Structure 1
């Protein structure tokens, strides 16, 4: 019993001597004369903790106190940066080169920072793959086989995005107890598109929120994800209430894109009309042929409740507007020129160009990829 009583004060003394500090050391090569900052990342801002001007050796050392996991930035004055996720009493080592610090670095001594690197490496790979596809789409516009080429590239584009989504979801499932799951939840493919952006993905927000609430109840990131989860739940609840009131049972995702004048037009603003949702490309021969059919149908049914919402996958504004003018398209034409309308294409699982969906007056998808006589016959079933 005496030995046990003696051990207790020793344990208390050891606990009291834990400084709850984080030490970050390493070397940034070829950074002579550049200032390296250590920033603490908050949910909506950053706080500079320390800085050092690198010499020709590039070695640095930072030390700061922390009682819980936190996100930090190692940031160079040339704009390059590295995101770290540290835990109390970790000794983190980072090695990189100043000119490529954000894309190529080695980190050790920190499990959270290794997770962050995995997430960012995967996202950067996804962005690079999408950029290559976009470039090839642009370069092949004058190719006589552009129709088949664009279909293949479009399918590949969707595949790359889906692979990123699967990676993010699986990461959260495997690492829900790490604050890195918060990063996985809110990563973006571009400025408007989260890797997890479907209504069903609220389940991953619930997983992250539940884990963080249990482990770090007072953490600012916990409060942020809980607030965001409530917003998501309220939005879904309101959507369901609206559907119940309207008694429509709408079964298609909304699209919000800009028309040729730069004004945003929502697909669901056409509620109550029979809609042809058409996907096309200005340099695709089959798309231009399809426009002739659509013109005849639109002329016949536009005064009976038909509307066409046409989404272009173009990334060249001049070519898009030129084709609209040449073909005399006087219905709704929209496009996300920066991303080739990638989100809309993905949400509707478009695998070919041209493509179409038929949406009834009740908001139900009643046809897909119908052309010519088959398209007009289906419309005639709903518009008398």
Structure 2
């Protein structure tokens, strides 16, 4: 055990270990932690092991220097008694931890890198829902899952996504992979790794977990048309021009639904708008829902166009990535594409030519 005291002997201890410790540093300040010991743990794809232990000084502080610098961001955790705080570290960066020994895994703050701040944001969000609803209700809360899904969609490092899908609450997984909405969060995280870091073993781990969970889902018992694919297991939730979060799952299965992918600056966009307006005018009173998602690189162009649309129009900004496009095998530069979902929420038809949309929809009314 390496002991780093926070008073004069701490200088000697740190100096003594720097000869063989050249990795990241964690500087801790634990209120009420004097005389206690914290344990640093690492992971190999979910299997945690002890790395080292550190004695907290009389003033509640401690310093820990990792033996080596990680070339990629890596998740670690620090344990006090039976409570854990998770944090990412990389290279020779210095992180700071502030916490209270009595509520070690609640109300803490880890800083020193943007990724560390993201991890803290995830934990604060989850704890907010737990404080408001209780543990079990928070685990099942749709709004929490939507917010986490949005974090996954915007995650360009993929490590925050990996942390979210592996998160436990009271020794139980946060995500229920027998629930299709939760499974889409995992699928989106796996898809991000596949797109951004295809050789990262963590991404392959997520993909294997996703495929195993998907195979375990009960069959819906409804046959698809031979030429159709099933609905991709990826959640879609974006904001409209009024700043309201619109979740596609709130539309799908509530009536015949059209999911339309578009770039308003594409030459075929006007014809797409004409076709959508025709079917919406004809079938809106019969329950037709249209969820249009724009991939325009220019937000103002989307806003100008969406302001005139009577149906739901949302924007996928470039910073949110293109996981949805990959899942639905759509290239927005190739022109608008529509997907028709029946009243059961099953994907029944892909329409690549807007002129075919009225005839394609007619069979479902």
Q: TM-score, normalised by structure 1?
A: 0.46
TM-score, with structure 2 as normaliser: 0.48
Q: Which structure has greater helix proportion?
A: 1
